[in-house]
Structure 1
Amino acid sequence: MNWRLVFVLFAVFAVGTNALIMAGIVPAIATGLNTSEAIAGLGLTVFALTYAVVGPTLPIILSRFGRRTIMAGGLILFIGGTVLSGLAPDVSIFMLSRVIVGVAAAAIPPQAAAIAIAISPPGREGRALGLLSAGILLSIALGVPLGSLLGIWLGYSGAFLFLASLGIVGLIGLFFIPPTPKPAKATIAEQFAPFRRPAVLVLGLCAFLFAWCQYSITTFFAPLVKDSAGISDVEVPILLVIYGLTGVVAALFGGRLIDRFSGYAVAIGGFIAITITTPLFSVASSFLIAAIVVVVWSLAQNVTFPAAQVEMGRLHPANPATAFALFAALVQAGGAIGAAVSAGVLEALGPRWIAPVAAVATLIGTIVISLLARRLRRQNEAQSILVEATVDEAS
């Protein structure tokens, strides 16, 4: 592993935790800003919507700058917005801070992924993206409990200031990252060209469906496992920590699978495993069984995401950050819609129906990505035959 990636990992971890940490400190924020918990919780919605709206266009707008420059600017904005979140005197300033952090969060991960690929040896891109995925998953494992603990020890202002300090570490670490090539110069139309490519859009659809399933389960994880397994309030966060830590392991070692096989092969296998294991949440009858389901589900999920992301970047090698940004925006959109649909399922049918309905999304994703991989393989085979025929004619 390139040791410089550790600094990039800090930045990704800080960004991921910034969103998740709010789940543990919403009551404290509401008290501090003299508002309701419902209004304080809108900070999460504001963050996600900002990310989804500006994410796909930022790499295009900023394509004239180097990746380190974009990431440094994003981290400075992130640090400033996070500090403002902690020190905001009222709700309006707090919501403005979440918009600022949302813009920064949309800028940082795509550039981090592009830098990770650029400074990694050929054939090890999967491991690099697996490491970054591990940073995101570590934020999932620690975000909510860390937010709760920091809120108790330091107050919600101290919790945000702590995250700002992580951003500072990432910013300092950029000095150790070697300059990476700027994206190839291109017109705006050329920059948007990947968004019109069927293969890019199909992979984006897979990201959308993947997030649909993931957020459907994680958003309503507590009522789902409480209803099926009858576990206590104390055991719910334990399962979430197991989910996150298992995901870290999967992301680190799943990268080796991506580098050895194709990203499509790993993603297809992951989609199949997710589709099979997701409905099991509704029939897990004890904490032990629920924990086993969580482990398998997390392993499958967290090899699938970087595998699809690697292939997305390969479809647009001139500026992979553009493809990554579209990928991330569709993940946010899929997660928001998946959570909304599951909320309706919860109200209409009860918690046990959440998992079977969510599995439909990944079943569709399995079919879609399998058809895409088959089509691309046929295209490659046809190109190889054409090249051989051309060589034979020339000789």
Structure 2
Amino acid sequence: MTKTDQSSAIPLDTTARLPAVTYVLTFCIAVIGSNSLVLGPIAPEVARSLGTSVALVMSASAAFGLGTAASALLMARHVDRLGARRMLLGALLGLAAALALSALAPAVPALALTQLAAGVASGIALPAIYAGAAAVAPPGRESRTIGVVLTGWTLSMVAGVSLSALVADLVHWRAVYAVVALLAFGAFATLKTSRYRDAPAAGSAPWPLAALRIGGVKPLLVACAAFMSAFYGIYGYLGDHLHSALGEPVSANGIVALVYGIGFGAAALLDGVVDRLGARRVMPFAFLAVAAVYLGFALAGGSFAFVLVITFLWGLSNHFGLNVLIMRLAAIDPARRGTIMGLNSAVTYLAVFAGTTGFGPLYASQGFEMAALAALVLMLVAAAAGSWRLPASATPRN
């Protein structure tokens, strides 16, 4: 029997221990996140080593994002058909191979090609991880379980951003990819030897665009698009704002990333609130809290001290926003969870492109404050989409 809503009145055990595989999935997220974040800090060293420009080196990051989006859109449905564990094992092995080849890339085109392959593997892995986290969560502890898995992004941001530049300076940029490749293989081996098992869904999984007809999917994907575009639009230009407008050194970017990661991770301690209140109730307030953060950037973005305070709150509120978004999408139809989470990942990585390219001209012509106000408007759209009520006949299943 399935629950009809996360805020159901059915008594739930909120003290059940999280399964051990939760932490394995957290490690998997940390590995994927590390690869997605490390190129930025080491790009100057990569460019010097390969005799090219930083802008050209960053084309490998764009290739990773496009590979992830395309793979999530086209391949994630097989998570339902073959099982999350089986798909994740294959994706981690492919990711390890792609990262090892990245470490050996002789030129930028080869690096972009290997990162495209890493994106394809990540686009399979992310929906499998989120689907797996939702499936293994004890009843009444869905938010806590998913929240723990999401702290993998904190680990990748804090450790990946901080350590990648250090490894590149002390050893070589190729060592960064070699280390992440070993971590990916370690995640594969850990999952392979774990006791985690799952069963594929009965019947065939729909094609991704067919899944858009499932009740409740489209409004939440609109919320995802607005939420992620706002995030990447601000995150992509915050560093330049600190350096160009506030006169802070480039190292300030690392401090901001650390503060954001601390806020994002600290929010996991409060995920039990979401379990008690229900993701549907919390979502509009979480998105409005993120909107308030962008208002804070617009009003107080001229002070580095205030930026740090606001960035901590940004990490805190973004954690809740991402948590409830994944919870609600994962609850719509467990039999097609992988397909739906694939759509979520595809929209997320398309938002990386939309946010950075769309906010660029606005930031260049109107400044960081106007960009922050644009992000605020997007978050109001996300809150409205997240508040959309379905007809009773289309109520999502948990």
Q: Taking structure 1 as the reference length, what is the TM-score of the superposition? A: 0.89
43-52 vs 196-205, which moves further: 196-205
Mapped contact 1:10–1:135 kept (Cα < 8 A): yes
Q: Is 1:72–1:171's contact at 8 Å kept on the other side of the alignment?
A: yes
Please list the CA deviations of residues 191-243 of structure 1 after superposition, one character each: whole Å capped at 9, or x if unmatched.
75422235201101100000011111110112334566554433332122101
Q: In structure 2, what is the equivalent of residue 291 of structure 1?
A: 308
> Equivalent residues in 2 for 1:1-395 (5 A)?
1-61=18-78, 63-174=80-191, 175-186=193-204, 188=206, 193-226=210-243, 231-250=248-267, 252-284=268-300, 285-370=302-387, 372=388, 375-376=389-390, 379=392
Question: Amino acid of the residue matched to residue 238 of structure 2?
Answer: F
Measure how far apart 1:272 and its partner are.
Answer: 0.8
Secondary structure of the corresponding residue to residue 89 of structure 1: coil
Q: May I ask how many residue pairs the two structures share in their alignment?
A: 377
Does the 8 A contact of 1:66 with 1:182 survive in 2? Answer: yes
Q: Distance in 2 between matches of 1:87 and 1:382?
A: 50
CA shift for structure 1 position 258: 2.2
Q: Distance in 1 between matches of 2:249 and 2:173?
A: 26
Whichever residue aligns with residue 280 of structure 2, its letter is: Y
Say whether the 8 Å CA contact 2:134–2:330 is kept in structure 1. Answer: no
Q: Does the 8 Å CA contact 2:80/2:205 hold for their aligned counterparts?
A: no
Look up the equivalent residue of 2:276 and give its one-letter code: R
For residue 5 of structure 2, what is the aligned residue in structure 1? none
Unaligned runs of 5+ in 1: 384-395
Instruction: Assess, with a 3 A threshold, how the Cα gap between structure 1 residues 290 and 382 changes in structure 2: closer, same or farther.
Output: closer
Structure 2 distance, partners of 1:254, 1:380, is 33
Structure 1 runs of 4+ aligned residues shifted over 6 Å read 380-383
DSSP 3-state at the match of 1:56: helix
Q: What SS is found at the alignment partner of 2:160? A: helix
Could you report, residue by residue, the CA deviation over 1:294-324 in whole angstroms, capped at 9, with x for unpaired residues? 1222211111101111110111210312111
User: Which protein is bigger by CA-based radius of gyration?
Assistant: 1
1:31-88, CA deviations, whole angstroms, 9 ceiling, x for partnerless residues? 3333222211100000001111221221224543222111110001000000000011
CA distance in 2, matches of 1:268, 1:221: 25
Change (3 A) 1:233 1:59: closer
Over aligned residues, Cα RMSD in angstroms? Answer: 2.2
The aligned residue for residue 11 of structure 2 is: none
Q: For 1:122, what is the secondary structure of its paired residue? A: coil
The amino acid across from 1:276 in the alignment is: A
Whose helix proportion is higher, 1 or 2?
Answer: 1
Please tell me whether the aligned partners of residues 24 and 151 of structure 1 are also in contact (alpha carbons under 8 angstroms).
Answer: no
Q: What is the one-letter code of the residue matched to 1:101?
A: A
Q: Which amino acid aligns with 1:277?
A: V
CA distance in 2, matches of 1:354, 1:136: 24
- In structure 2, what is the Cα distance between the partners aligned to 1:234 and 1:92? 29
CA contact (8 A) 1:47 1:101 kept: yes
Cα contact 1:216–1:358 (8 A) shared by 2: yes
Distance of aligned partners of 1:352 and 1:192 in 2 relative to their CA distance in 1, 3 Å threshold: closer
Change (3 A) 1:354 1:61: same
Tell me how far apart the structure 2 counterparts of residues 53 and 297 of structure 1 sit (CA, whole Å).
Answer: 29
C-alpha contact (below 8 Å) 1:9/1:135 kept by paired residues: yes
Q: 1:340 to 1:192 in 2, by over 3 A?
A: closer
Identical-residue share of aligned pairs (%): 23
